[in-house]
Amino acid sequence: MQGDQPRLRLGLAMWSLPQWKNSLYGNGTTTQRLEKYAQVFNTVEGNTTFYALPKLTSVQNWRDAVDEHFKFTFKLPKTITHDLQLQHCNAELKAFFDTMAPLIEKTAIWKIQLPAKFGPHSLANLDRFLAQFPKELTVGVEVRHLAFFDKGEHEKALNQVLIKHHSNRIIIDTRPVFAATPDHPAIIDGQQKKPKVPVHPIATAQQPVVRFIGELNSEINQAYFGKWAHKIAQWIEQGRQPYVFIHTPDNVAAPELAVTLNDMIRECSTHSIAPIKLLDNSLPEANSVDQLRLDI
């Protein structure tokens, strides 16, 4: 790890949720939410770029809201990853980076989320795409085709492509939400939208990415944290810089859950991991169904 870069980057699936007023925002205005968020967490998932290109003014505002120590991660547009399957997309990729140019210095990982239909037969597309991707930028790749989790030739071929291009494999852990009883609208929605894939904590480059999608019961989520804390601490021991993002079906208690995991990692690691301090550790009130936001 060089300079004063943190050994661990841990954040949430978004930076704006009204129910985080007590834990993150205090008396800050809506426009100050990213600034307040970045005073607590050192990274965030930028999912809105998956659906549409943001306005240039929004990109500039995001850049100005955080200091040089904060790092974004952004998904490539679904036009590139899902519609075009990483093929014949030079114009779309250029348009994306032209828009995101003000944030390039503050973005650590550009995420390629691939659909479930993107399987071994399409792996050559990923290989060619990564070969043409700007070398100075760091990539994370999330796959959802079950063949890439077979622990056999298909998964080995995927990992070899990622290692070849110094690209990080994004690990998504949806076990808690699928283990939950579907007796709440948020749980039902999560089980319908999230992928049900095996968890293979493999580091193919220096910034392994974990997306943890928990359920509404924090105690159940914490039961999964034990092994994750040891694995993340192990990556840190190896000189890697893990990126970890905490989701829950309604994301209301995600800040508190992130603090719990961070504390567990600090206990496991021999390196200094900074604590996360919320404004108020009391859980916010339950979210209403019409306010839920579940990113893919």
Number of Cβ atoms within 10 Å of the Cβ of 169:
22
Which pTM value belongs to this model? 0.91
Q: What is the mean pLDDT of residues 143-163?
A: 97
Per-residue model confidence as pLDDT tens digits over 74-102: 999 999 999 999 999 999 999 999 999 99
The answer to whether 190 and 175 have CB atoms below 8 angstroms apart is no
Average of per-residue pLDDT across 267-288: 75
Torsional sign, CA 275, 14, 69, 72: positive
Q: What is the mean pLDDT of residues 200-222?
A: 91
* pLDDT score at 287: 41
pLDDT at position 249: 87
pLDDT tens digits, one per residue of 98-138: 999 999 999 999 999 999 999 999 999 999 999 999 999 99
Give CA–CA dist 246/266, Å, rounded. 16
Angle, CA of 61, 67 and 71, to the nearest 5°:
85
In CATH, what number is assigned to the domain containing residue 205?
3.20.20.410
Residue 2 inside a domain? The answer is: no
Q: Taking the CB of residue 291, how many other CB atoms lie within 10 A of it? A: 12
Report whether pLDDT(1) > 80: no
pLDDT of 262 > 50? The answer is yes
149, part of any domain: yes
pLDDT at 285: 44
Is there a domain that residue 296 lies in? no
Name the residue range of residue 250's domain.
9-291
Whether 4 is in a domain gets the answer no
For 206-219, what is the mean pLDDT?
A: 90
Q: How many folded domains does the chain comprise?
A: 1
Mean pLDDT, the chain, integer: 91
